[in-house]
Every structure is written in C-alpha cells, then in structure tokens.
Amino acid sequence: MSDLSLSRICFVSNNTPAADEAAARLRLAYGAHELADADVVVALGGDGLMLQTLHQVMGQNIPVYGMNFGSVGFMMNPYNEENLLERLNDAQRTHIYPLSMTVTDQSGETRSALAINEVSLFRSTYQAAKLQILVDGEVRLEELICDGALLATPAGSTAYNLSAHGPILPIEAPLLALTPISPFRPRRWRGAILSNRAEVTFLTRESDKRPVSAVADNVEFHNVASVSVREDRTHAVALMFDPGTSLEERVLTEQFRF
C-alpha cells in the first residue's frame, strides 16, 4: 500500500467521543501527518466539520475525504476503517469554487470573507429588511421586503437554499441561485438563477431602523450597508467520494426526493 499516491493523511474530527476514538485508531493504523505535510485530509464528523475543513485547506490543493459521524452527512462517505488508502486513491473528486463576499458596514469599514455554500443576509431585529438587488451594477429589484436573501453555489444549493425553497443546481453548472428568505413584498418573487460570472450587490435601505447582518458560511458581519458577492475561481477546494456516490450523483438524487 505504500506505493499509492495518497499516503500521507491528516486526520481531523469533530471532537465528539466516537469521532475522536476513531481518529486515534486511524492514526495508529495509517500514520499521523500535519496539514502542511499531508497529501489528503480525512475528516471524521458531519457536514459542519467538512465546511470548516474545506475552509482550512482552501488554496492549498489538498483534497478532503469525509467519513460521517454527524446527522445528515450529505458531503460525507460512510465510516469504514478498512482499506482506507485504496479508497482514497479510488475516490472521485469534485472541485468547488467559493463565493467572495465584500461587506461595507454603516461606518464605512470594508471586510471580506469566502463562502463555500452561500452568502446570506438576515434582518437583525423584529422589523423586516429592505434590500435593493443589483446584478452586474444594474438594478434588478428595486426593493425586496423580507427576512433576508441568499446567494448559493451549486454545492450549497441543497443546503439552506433548498430549505428557503430555492432551486437545486447541478454541481457542475456555471450557475448561482439567488433566493429570498420569507419575502413579504414582492410576495410572489421566488428568486433567480444567475450566471456564475455575475456580481450580485445587495444595498440595505432604512438600515438605521432595519439593521441587516451578512454571513459567509459561518463568518458574520453586522450593520451592513452593502454586500457584493461573486464567484472566486482562485480558491478551489476538492471533495472526495467513493465511486458511484459522487456529489454530482447526490445532487441529482436530491431532486427526486419528496
């Protein structure tokens, strides 16, 4: 097995007892490497740990193979300690490109973050948010009164976007899903499917009494005035799946669930 290309493994876990014990056994069986010295990361946990790990390896050209110790495990493979090196080298890879979010807050400060699943805007008080939406600098929706809105990648389209009644996007599609969250006016607007080359800008209105927060995966900024989002092709991440269970297949299967 030592001649296989992916042999230096960095094991990470979600710090639950079962996952930590499994990680300890796997390190004894297959060796333990730090991230900087690894060919591959094996993540033992759920989809939350997978997102966290993908952010850690972003831009480092290190693929991530997940084994499920969570509840849903949409991005994970079944847990199995046997023949791990062979499984890693036989695994299919799916490359994902994150969204780059640039936020300007009410004080004029600008900050940025990356999102693998989605960028979301949320009202911060009991009052609905008022958002103006621009696509490539052109106003497409003058005013959306809502609990919020989100822009999702194909990988994130089956997550919060789907729960907000947004469309599922094929994983290789050069598209983004723009989805309102509990829209009040216009009540019948259900969002849009956009090119992945588009830049989407959200401008908040009456933000002094209708404050809005912006979230890129798990990074949150408060009291935002404007949020610009576009796909970042310079920070690809690679997920690994057992043959026949690729992310493409999972996304396709999800569209026929009811």
Determine phi and psi for 54, rounding to 5 degrees: -60, -35
Cα distance between residue 174 and residue 164, in whole Å: 21
Which of 37, 47, 105, 136 is catalytic? The answer is 47
DSSP 3-state percent helix, strand, coil across the chain (nearest 5): 20, 40, 40
Question: Is 242 noted as a catalytic residue in this protein?
Answer: no
Dihedral (Cα; 236, 240, 244, 249), 10-degree rounding: -40
Find out whether 206 and 131 touch, Cβ atoms under 8 Å: no
Find out whether 195 and 175 touch, Cβ atoms under 8 Å: yes
Token representation of residue 224 = 């935002």
Find out whether 175 and 200 touch, Cβ atoms under 8 Å: no
Tell me, what DSSP letter sits at residue 24? H
| Active-site residue set | 47
